[in-house]
Structure 1
Amino acid sequence: MIQLNQLSLQRGPQRLLDQAQLTIHASQKVGIIGANGVGKSSLFKLILGELQADEGDLQLPTNLIIAHMAQEVSDSDRSALEYVLDGDRRLRQVQQQLEEAENSGNHHRSGELHAEMAAIDGYTAESRAHQLLNGLSFKPGDATRPVSTFSGGWRIRLNLAQALMCHSDILLLDEPTNHLDLDATIWLEQWLRSYPGTLLLISHDRDFLDAVTTHIVHMHRQKTDIYKGGYSDFEIMRAERLSQQQAQFEKQQQRIAEIENFVRRFKAKATKAKQAQSRVKELERMEKISAAHVDSPFTFGFPASDKISFPLLALDKADLGYDKAILKQVSLSLVPGARIGLLGPNGAGKSTLIKSLTEDLTLLSGERKSGEHLKIGYFAQHQLEALDLEASPSLHIKRIAPKATDQEIRNFLGSFDFHGDRALEPVKQFSGGEKARVALALIAWQKPNLLLLDEPTNHLDLEVRHALTLALQGFEGALILVSHDRHLLRNCVDEFLLVADQQVAQFKGDMDDYQQWLANQRREDNQTEQPERENRSASAAERKEQKRLAAERRSKLRPLKKATEKLEAEMETLAEKLTEVEEKLSDTSIYEDARKAELKDVLQQQASLQQRSEVVETEWMEKLEELEELEQLTAAD
C-alpha cells in the first residue's frame, strides 16, 4: 500500500502539494493526471526516495522492488539486449554470484544458485528480453546493436523495456507512450493489463488510460483526488461536479447553440456535410466530456485558406522512398474535406508518405500534382527541433507575417494560452508541451487547406489534446493524420489508409478492426518461418551448404551422447547418495539431542543433493531433447 498522510511538497517557490491525502492499494493500476507542472513527476520522485516531503509523510511497505522508466539514457557500448537484461537486478546478482562460485569450484553453492536461477526465471530471461524488444517495435538485428547507436526516442524505448524486465512490486511509468507508435502502444497496453504488481502511470492518452487503469488520481489545486475506474469514468464524475456551477453551464450552452446553428446551416450542403456530421458527433459526446473541459484555457482553431483547388494534391503511380522504394505504385487524390488516418506497422512508410506529399522527399518515380491553391500545414514528428529557441512565440509569427500588428499576434497566441509576457519569452524556456503549442500556432496562423500531422500529440496534455480534437473537427480543408492517440483518430478522421507491405490501400474497418489486424500479424510473425526455398531445386552452392551442415550435425552427435551419458551417471550417483542420507534420517536415534550437529550436517547434505539432482536432471532433459532432435535431423540427411 502507498499512502500519503497530510503530505506537503514545495519545489522552489511553488507549492505542489498541500496536506494531500492518498491511499493506493496493492495491485491497483492507477493513472496520474493533471495539468503540466502540478507535480506528477515529483510524486514519482517522492516514491523513489529522490525527494522528501516538507510536511506529513509517505508510507511504503519495506523490501518492495520498485521499477521505473528513466527519461534519459547516456551513451553506452552495451548491446540493447544486455541493457534490457540489466533491468532484472536480481538476475544480474545471481549471475555474478554463480560465476564467482563456479570460478572458485564451490559446487554446493553453484547448485544453490542454479536452483535460484530457475526460481527467478533466469534461464528464460533472454527470451523475455527479446519479446519486450519485439513488442516495442525493435527490429530483430537491433538486439545486438550498442545503445549508443540508437536515437533519443529509441533509447527511451530501451528504458521502458528495462523497466518492464524487472520483477517489480511497483512499476512507475511517466508518459511511456510519448515515443511509441500505435502498434507498440497497443502492445504495451496488453502487457500492462497482465502486470501483477501496483502500477502508477502518468499519461495524457485517454484511450490508453481507459484500457489499463482501475483508478484515476487527479492532481489539482495542490490536492490528490482519487476516482474509481478509467479516464472516461473520471471525466463523467468530474463533469457532474463541474456542471453544478452555473457559469460553466452557461458556457456549455453557448457552445451547443453554436454547433446546432452550424448543423442547421450546412448539413444539406455537400461540401460541408462531413464537418456538420463532426459537429453532430461532438454534440452527442457533450454530456460526457464537455463539462469537464469548460475551464480549458485553449480556444484555438485551424481556419482554412479561402482559396481551394480540386483536387488539392495527388500522387499517381508513385514509388516513394530514399535510395530504394519503401512504397510502390502509390496513387492518392486529396480533395477538400478529406479526413484520413494512416495506419500501419512501424517502419512501413507512413512518415515516408507524408514527406513525399510535402516534397521533403523526392519521388523515385511517378507523378505528384499540386492544385493551384494548395497550401500545406505540416507538423512533423520532430517539429519542435525546427523552432528557433532564442525567439519568442510572437517573433516566430512576426517573421512569417511582418505586417501583422502586435495586438493581432497577442490575441491569436492567447487562444493557445500564451498570455502577457509568455508570448514574448524565448522558446528555450518552454516545456515540450508549450513548444508543441507554438508549432501548432504557426501552422494555424498560415491558414492551410491541407493539414499533414505526424504524431502531433507528443508532449501535449489532456486539455490541449481535447482542444486539438475540437480544432481539427472544425477544420474545413483536407487532413491526413498519423497518431498513436486513438481518441484523436476516432474523432477527427472519416477513413483509414493502411500502409503495409510496400502498399497504400484503403482499410475497411475501424480502430477495433485494426487492433485485430495487428494481433493477426503478430501471430503470423511469431510462427516458425518456412524456408524461403522450400519446394525448389537446390543450387550447387545450396547442396554444398546442406552437406556441410549435415556433417556438422554428425560431428556434434558423439560429444552430445557422451554429455548425456555423463549426466545420467551423475544422476545415478546422486540418487545413491540420497538413499544413504534418507536411511540415516530414518534412524530415530539421529534426532536425539546428543546428535544435533550430525542431524544438521545430514539435512544440509540432503538439501544440497536434492538441489544438485534437480539441476542435473534439468540439464539432462535439455541435452536429451537436443540429442533426439539432432538424431532426427541426421536421419533426414
Structure 2
Amino acid sequence: ERMEELAPAHFDSPFDFIFRVADKVSTPLLNLNEAELGYNVGQPVLSNVKLQLVPGARIALLGPNGAGKSTLIKSIVGDLPLLAGDLTCSENLVIGYFAQHQLDSLDPKASPLLHFQRIAQDEREQVLRNFLGGFNFRGKRCDEPVLNFSGGEKARLALALIAWGKPNLLLLDEPTNHLDLEMRQALSMALQDFSGALLLVSHDRHLIKSTMDELYLVAEGRVQEFAGDLEDYSKWLNDYRLRQRPDNDAASPDKVDRRAQRQAAAALRKQLAPLRKHTDTLEKQLDNIQKELQALETILADNSLYEQPQKDQLRQHLSQQTNLLQKQVKLEETWLNSLEALELLQSELGEDI
C-alpha cells in the first residue's frame, strides 16, 4: 500500500517482462551480523553491520559517494570477503546481481539468444526468443553480436539474464543508467511484482519512490535505517556536507580555492532545488494522467457503450483518451529531460540521490 501504483508504462511499450518466480524461498534469505566490510584489514569502510533480508524486503541504500553502498552489495554477493563478522545465507538463496561493470562481462561476440542458450541449454529456442522479446530483442536483433550494442541494450540484456535466473534476492547497483524512459517504467513495474527481497542503489528518485518500502543510510562507517523520506535525506546530505568542510579561516591559495569551490557548489545547489521540485511536479502530473487513462479504460470496457444510443458518448471518451495519450507522451519527454538534468547536476555535486 505504501508503494506508488504505476499504470501500464505505455500502450505501445516495446517492453513487457517479469522476474521469473524463484523455485524455492527461505526466510531469512540472508543475515549479516557484526560485520566489518572493506578492502584492507584494520581499515574497514563499514563496521558493525547488521542486516537481515527476508522475502518481500525492499530497501534503498542512501549515502554520499564513497560511503560504502557498493562495498555493502559487493560483500553480500561475495565479490569482497568480510574483514570480520558473519554472513549466513539460506540454502535456497538465489541472487540476481546487477552492476555497471557486469556489462563488460557480456561476451561481445555472442548474441542475446546465444547468451541465453548457454544458461538454458534444455529450453526450446522459441521460449527464449519470446522472453528476450519482452526486453525488445526481436527478430535479427536477437541474433546479432553484443559487440555493437549500445549501453542501454547491454543493460537490458544483463537484466534479462537476471530475470530469467529466478532470483529471490535482487542486488541492483544503479540499474537505470543508460535505460530510456520506457525501460525504466517497465523495470519499475517488474520490480513491483517481484516477490523476493530487493536491495537497491540508484540515483533514480522515481524508481525508489515507486518500488521501495525502506530507506537505509550508509554513512560515516555505519549502515542504519533512515527514518525520513527522500526530502529529509536531501536535507541530511546538505548538513553532512557542511559538517565535512574545513574550518580553517587562514588566508591562503588553498583557502581561496576552497572558497571558490564552495561558491560553485552553492550555485549548483541553488539550481538543484527548483529542478528537483520541477521534476517532482512532472511526476505528479504524469501520475494524474495515468489515473485518468485507467479510469477511461474502465469506462471503455463497458460493452453497452458501443451500442448505437451511446455513439456520441463513445466518441467523446475516445477523443479524451487520444488527447490524454498525446499529452502523456509530451509530458514524459519533458520529465525524462528534467530527470537527466537533475541526475547530471547531482553527480556534479557528488550526490547519490
Q: Is TM (by shorter chain) over 0.5?
A: yes
| Equivalent runs, 1:515-526 vs 2, <5 Å | 515-526=234-245
Whether the aligned pair in 2 keeps the contact of 1:433 and 1:460 (CA below 8 Å) is yes
Q: Distance in 2 between matches of 1:443 and 1:333?
A: 22
Identify the match of residue 336 of structure 1 among 32, 44, 55.
55
Pairing 1:411–2:130 present: yes
Residue matched to 1:393:
112
Residue matched to 1:322:
39
Identify the match of residue 89 of structure 2 among 348, 370, 375.
370
Residue matched to 1:294:
11
1:372 positional shift = 1.3
Pairing 1:304–2:12 present: no
Q: Distance in 1 between matches of 2:61 and 2:165?
A: 24
Give the partner amino acid of 2:200: L
Deviations 1:95-129 (A, max 9, x none): xxxxxxxxxxxxxxxxxxxxxxxxxxxxxxxxxxx
Deviations 1:358-377 (A, max 9, x none): 01110001000000100000
User: What SS class does the counterpart of residue 45 from structure 2 fall into?
Assistant: strand
1:315 positional shift = 0.5
| Equivalent runs, 1:543-622 vs 2, <5 Å | none
Structure with higher Rg: it is 1
Residue matched to 1:381:
100
1:527 positional shift = 5.5
User: What SS class does the counterpart of residue 203 from structure 2 fall into?
Assistant: coil
Q: Distance in 1 between matches of 2:177 and 2:115?
A: 21
1:329 positional shift = 1.0
* Alignment gaps of 5+ in structure 1: 1-275, 532-637
Whether the aligned pair in 2 keeps the contact of 1:303 and 1:476 (CA below 8 Å) is no
1:505 positional shift = 0.4
Identify the match of residue 357 of structure 1 among 76, 84, 87.
76
Identify the match of residue 475 of structure 1 among 178, 194, 197.
194
Greater than 4 Å deviation, 4+ residue runs: none
Q: Percent identity?
A: 60
1:528 positional shift = 1.2
1:529 positional shift = 5.4
| Equivalent runs, 1:476-495 vs 2, <5 Å | 476-495=195-214
> Which of structures 1 and 2 has the larger relative contact order (alpha carbons within 8 angstroms, sep 6+)?
2
Identify the match of residue 219 of structure 2 among 492, 500, 517.
500
Give the partner amino acid of 2:180: D
Q: Distance in 1 between matches of 2:55 and 2:162?
A: 17
Pairing 1:429–2:148 present: yes
Q: Distance in 1 between matches of 2:203 and 2:144?
A: 31
Q: Distance in 2 between matches of 1:312 and 1:488?
A: 23
RMSD: 1.6
Give the partner amino acid of 2:188: T
User: What SS class does the counterpart of residue 402 from structure 1 fall into?
Assistant: coil
Moved more, 295-304 or 521-530: 521-530
User: What SS class does the counterpart of residue 317 from structure 1 fall into?
Assistant: strand
1:306 positional shift = 2.6
Residue matched to 1:455:
174
Whether the aligned pair in 1 keeps the contact of 2:14 and 2:135 (CA below 8 Å) is yes
Q: Distance in 2 between matches of 1:530 and 1:447?
A: 57
Q: Distance in 1 between matches of 2:208 and 2:19?
A: 17
Deviations 1:406-458 (A, max 9, x none): 11100000000111111111001211111110000000010100000000111
Give the partner amino acid of 1:309: S
Q: Distance in 2 between matches of 1:306 and 1:405?
A: 19
Give the partner amino acid of 1:443: I
Pairing 1:440–2:155 present: no
Q: 1:503 to 1:444 in 2, by over 3 A?
A: same
Please give the TM-score of this superposition, normalised by the length of structure 1: 0.38
Deviations 1:141-186 (A, max 9, x none): xxxxxxxxxxxxxxxxxxxxxxxxxxxxxxxxxxxxxxxxxxxxxx
User: What SS class does the counterpart of residue 293 from structure 1 fall into?
Assistant: coil
Whether the aligned pair in 1 keeps the contact of 2:15 and 2:186 (CA below 8 Å) is yes
Give the partner amino acid of 2:146: V
Q: Distance in 2 between matches of 1:383 and 1:344?
A: 23
User: What SS class does the counterpart of residue 179 from structure 2 fall into?
Assistant: coil
Q: 1:326 to 1:529 in 2, by over 3 A?
A: farther
Please give the TM-score of this superposition, normalised by the length of structure 2: 0.68
1:303 positional shift = 2.1
Whether the aligned pair in 1 keeps the contact of 2:32 and 2:50 (CA below 8 Å) is yes
Whether the aligned pair in 2 keeps the contact of 1:379 and 1:440 (CA below 8 Å) is yes
Whether the aligned pair in 1 keeps the contact of 2:2 and 2:213 (CA below 8 Å) is no
Q: Distance in 1 between matches of 2:111 and 2:118?
A: 11
Q: Distance in 2 between matches of 1:407 and 1:529?
A: 67
